[in-house]
Structure 1
Amino acid sequence: MKISNRVLEMQESPVRKLVPIATRVKKQGKKVYHLNIGQPDIKTPEVFMDAINKYDTSVIKYSFSQGEPILIDAIRNFFKRDGIIFNENNVLITNGGSEAITFSTIAMCDPGDEILIPEPFYTNYNGFTGEVNVNLVPITTLAKDGFHLPKKEDIVKLITPKTKAILFSNPGNPTGTILRRDEMEILAEIAIENDLYIISDEVYRGMAFDGLEALSMGCIEGIDDRLVIIESVSKRYSACGARIGAICSHNEDLIKNILKLCQARLCVATLEQIGAAALYSLPTEYTEGIKNEYQARRDIVFETLSNIDGVVCEKPTGAFYVVVKLPVDDAEKFIIWMLEEFTLDNETIMLSPAEGFYGTEGLGKDEARIAYVLNTEDMKRAMLILEKGLEAYNQK
């Protein structure tokens, strides 16, 4: 039987494709520190389950296709803290930020159209767009520049008649880079001058270190008609499995048409929406505490990497990732070797090969993404294993 070209041409996730190897070695008794996936180990706030347990109903009914009003209002209040005002018709609840990006892509683009994206980028963007036959066009950013955007003219020259939008995450996954306001204003200028949409993935907003602020694109003037903000409870509230995201936009015509897609998939799970609404009610002190915890983990990772010969990386300023250039020819081969052949007291680590986070062929082959999602003691241990592993790998 024939399998569609669409799915055959989709990229396999570099974050998850080595999981079978990790599963096998764990069954053999080896402990693996997972630094390959953005799954926080921080406890999900109790208010999530409390709200679900208190939800008084005898029947779990379909939710509204747009989403539960209590959650929509909670998200509106969340943005209101930053002076960004959405009405009830500006927000659609989705099955995670993933569905939010897929639906936005479908509404903005026809098959064969293009979306500009700074690279390295969250690899699953390839899946969200590729499954609807939309092509990502990379805007190359470099470690030596802290993965900040190139000059405006270098971005503009990538625009073609097929270009329909600019997509980016801020703070960035996998780089941990926070865009400066002037960079955001340049993207806004480009979008206005070339009649493009902007998809601003802000699921890590709030995780900004060293006194920096991750500004929402909603604070940039003049782009309300072309801006979509992607929101999610996954990272900020350590609720990845809840699969609750949102599309937020002042372009009500766009929202009205994306609602058709929401209607076609019926609704998002009712109970998870009730729990998510409670998460958005948490005070800002909660996210401040989370930010401080991740900054402490970041410091451990960066300090260790800075003292390993041949390793090159820039200090990340947000999210909980860092892209690191390793003193190896092929990062994926090194990661597999670490899983299968290396141990330090029967322990090893798992990273993500960074090549899959690039759209430009040949980039990232000697790079890896580290997700510092484990507690500080485990991060210290994992970094020691990495250091010893690199020593052993380059001596074999």
Structure 2
Amino acid sequence: MPSISNKGHLMPESPIRKLVPYAEKAKKEGTKVIHLNIGQPDIKTPQIALDAVKNNNLSVLEYSRTEGSETYREKLADYYAKNDIHVLAQDIIVTTGGSEALSFTMGSIADANDEIIIPEPFYANYNGFATAMGIKVVPVVSQIDNNFALPPIEEFEKLITEKTKAILICNPGNPTGYLYSKEEIQKLASIVKEHNLFLVSDEVYREFIYDGKEHYSILQEPGLSENAVIVDSVSKRYSMCGARIGCLVSKNKEIIKTALKFAQARLSPPTYAQIASEAALDTPQSYFDDVKEEYVERRNILIQELEKINGVKIGRPQGAFYCIAELPVKNSDDFAQWLLEEFRVNGETVMVAPAAGFYASAGLGENQIRIAYVLDKDSLKRAVNILNEALKIYKDQ
């Protein structure tokens, strides 16, 4: 029988999706599964974006431009300017989701066996993108006891080798919800300039910042133009996960030139989705004000209810819509599977994302879960009650 590639064997499973078969089985048996495992918002997509697709008058669904339509990129540049990020349309490549932007970035800045340093826990697919490119992820550990703040710069210094090409952050973070401060960004800017590295920032949750804090982008930092690459997406900003439109943004002309070659190989980003995304840029600020208010309420209820459970430790999110919770169990993978297979409260159970898959360091996160608070407040309360009742009787395998 022909053999599968070593790269294929090394590709990590998604910690978010690998429990899906157990959830589907539970549903077929009549159990209602409350999904805390995936960042699919229940927020309505802006009507202006939906209407743009419904009302377009295309007669031929042609390839779009490889780098994305000019009008969309021009409007994106205007959007960034409103966020004090000053770029031109030619500094932007439209991609098929933020995922493709990450892949293009990694392919443009690193070769096989090169290294990228990433504070962990981190978005699990960073591991997948790096594996697909043959790149080594070098983790630097952030701690729940410190609310997942940036690790000391000395810890980054220890990990830099001749193979190191970049530091990658998610700001605000998935899965932690941590928001890097201006001072933390400046520390990273200093180290990447000193060591001639790239600083890649996944900023797809930029709009979701809480408690009166403000987002500080790496492209707001003076003197970082040649080092900085932003990865962005419409998925969460406008609750348009299915549109699969993102972008790569950099003032470094060689990055854009190189990433464009990767983009040419996949031809073009989807036309209808760009139409929707361009229209979404006209979404009024009131939409985001309402969404932020809703997420703050959900976060507060989630934290309030989790804090009632004995033995649970929580990282307090300052942005995005995720929370890492440390549970009084040895193995959250087993616990999550047990919830789906065996535990019910009034015909309901909960699906969570075991957090070990958000770490690259073996053994870390095994007693943690990621919770996405993208559900209504009543569902969140019921879900945490189920977790509470489950932990009272669960026995580690």
TM-score, normalization: structure 2? Answer: 0.98
2:24 corresponding residue in structure 1:
23
1:110 corresponding residue in structure 2:
111
Larger mean Cα displacement after TM superposition, 7-16 or 211-220:
211-220
1:87 corresponding residue in structure 2:
88
Q: Distance in 1 between matches of 2:203 and 2:227?
A: 16
| 1:115–1:163 Cα contact (<8 Å) kept | yes
Q: Distance in 2 between matches of 1:24 and 1:370?
A: 21
Structure 1 residues 175-206: Cα deviation after superposition (integer angstroms, max 9, x where no partner): 01001111100110010000001110000012
SS at structure 2 position matched to 1:323: strand
1:343 corresponding residue in structure 2:
344
Asked if 1:354 corresponds to 2:355, the answer is yes
| 2:331–2:396 Cα contact (<8 Å) kept | no
Structure 1 residues 62-98: Cα deviation after superposition (integer angstroms, max 9, x where no partner): 0000001122122111111022221121000000000
2:299 corresponding residue in structure 1:
298
Q: Distance in 2 between matches of 1:151 and 1:337?
A: 37
Q: Percentage identity across aligned positions?
A: 45
**Amino acid corresponding to residue 307 of structure 2 in structure 1:** S
**Amino acid corresponding to residue 278 of structure 1 in structure 2:** A
1:234 corresponding residue in structure 2:
235
SS at structure 2 position matched to 1:322: strand
2:207 corresponding residue in structure 1:
206
1:317 corresponding residue in structure 2:
318
State the 1:354 CA deviation: 0.3
State the 1:283 CA deviation: 2.2
SS at structure 2 position matched to 1:85: coil
Asked if 1:190 corresponds to 2:185, the answer is no
Q: Distance in 1 between matches of 2:265 and 2:31?
A: 45
SS at structure 1 position matched to 2:246: strand
State the 1:147 CA deviation: 0.3
Q: Distance in 2 between matches of 1:76 and 1:111?
A: 33
| 1:206–1:213 Cα contact (<8 Å) kept | no
Q: Distance in 1 between matches of 2:81 and 2:284?
A: 13
1:220 corresponding residue in structure 2:
221
1:97 corresponding residue in structure 2:
98
Q: Distance in 2 between matches of 1:85 and 1:222?
A: 13
| 1:113–1:164 Cα contact (<8 Å) kept | yes
1:282 corresponding residue in structure 2:
283
**Amino acid corresponding to residue 229 of structure 1 in structure 2:** I
2:393 corresponding residue in structure 1:
392
2:308 corresponding residue in structure 1:
307
2:179 corresponding residue in structure 1:
178
Structure 1 residues 33-73: Cα deviation after superposition (integer angstroms, max 9, x where no partner): 01101111111111112111222221010000000112212
**Amino acid corresponding to residue 288 of structure 1 in structure 2:** D
| 1:51–1:275 Cα contact (<8 Å) kept | yes
Q: Distance in 2 between matches of 1:324 and 1:83?
A: 34
| 1:70–1:274 Cα contact (<8 Å) kept | no
SS at structure 2 position matched to 1:89: helix
Q: Distance in 2 between matches of 1:281 and 1:2?
A: 50
SS at structure 1 position matched to 2:103: helix
Asked if 1:334 corresponds to 2:331, the answer is no
Q: Distance in 2 between matches of 1:141 and 1:395?
A: 26
Larger mean Cα displacement after TM superposition, 275-284 or 58-67:
275-284
State the 1:394 CA deviation: 5.0
SS at structure 1 position matched to 2:313: coil
Q: Distance in 2 between matches of 1:35 and 1:69?
A: 38
Q: Distance in 2 between matches of 1:89 and 1:26?
A: 48
| 2:335–2:396 Cα contact (<8 Å) kept | no
Structure 1 residue runs without a partner (length 5+)? none
| 1:325–1:367 Cα contact (<8 Å) kept | yes
| 2:202–2:230 Cα contact (<8 Å) kept | yes
Q: Distance in 1 between matches of 2:364 and 2:45?
A: 36
2:127 corresponding residue in structure 1:
126
Q: Distance in 1 between matches of 2:84 and 2:327?
A: 42
Q: Distance in 1 between matches of 2:156 and 2:212?
A: 29
**Amino acid corresponding to residue 228 of structure 1 in structure 2:** V
Structure 1 residues 117-165: Cα deviation after superposition (integer angstroms, max 9, x where no partner): 0000000101111101001100100011110112111111100100001
Q: Distance in 1 between matches of 2:395 and 2:181?
A: 38
State the 1:381 CA deviation: 1.3
2:262 corresponding residue in structure 1:
261
2:368 corresponding residue in structure 1:
367
| 2:177–2:319 Cα contact (<8 Å) kept | yes
Q: Which runs of 4+ in 1 moved over 3 A?
A: none
TM-score, normalization: structure 1? Answer: 0.98
SS at structure 2 position matched to 1:356: helix
**Amino acid corresponding to residue 347 of structure 2 in structure 1:** N
Structure 2 residue runs without a partner (length 5+)? none
Size of the aligned set, in residue pairs, is: 396
| 1:203–1:231 Cα contact (<8 Å) kept | yes
SS at structure 1 position matched to 2:159: coil
State the 1:395 CA deviation: 10
Q: Distance in 1 between matches of 2:212 and 2:395?
A: 38
**Amino acid corresponding to residue 361 of structure 1 in structure 2:** A
1:71 corresponding residue in structure 2:
72
Superposed CA RMSD in Å reads 1.2
| 1:113–1:163 Cα contact (<8 Å) kept | yes
| 2:119–2:142 Cα contact (<8 Å) kept | yes
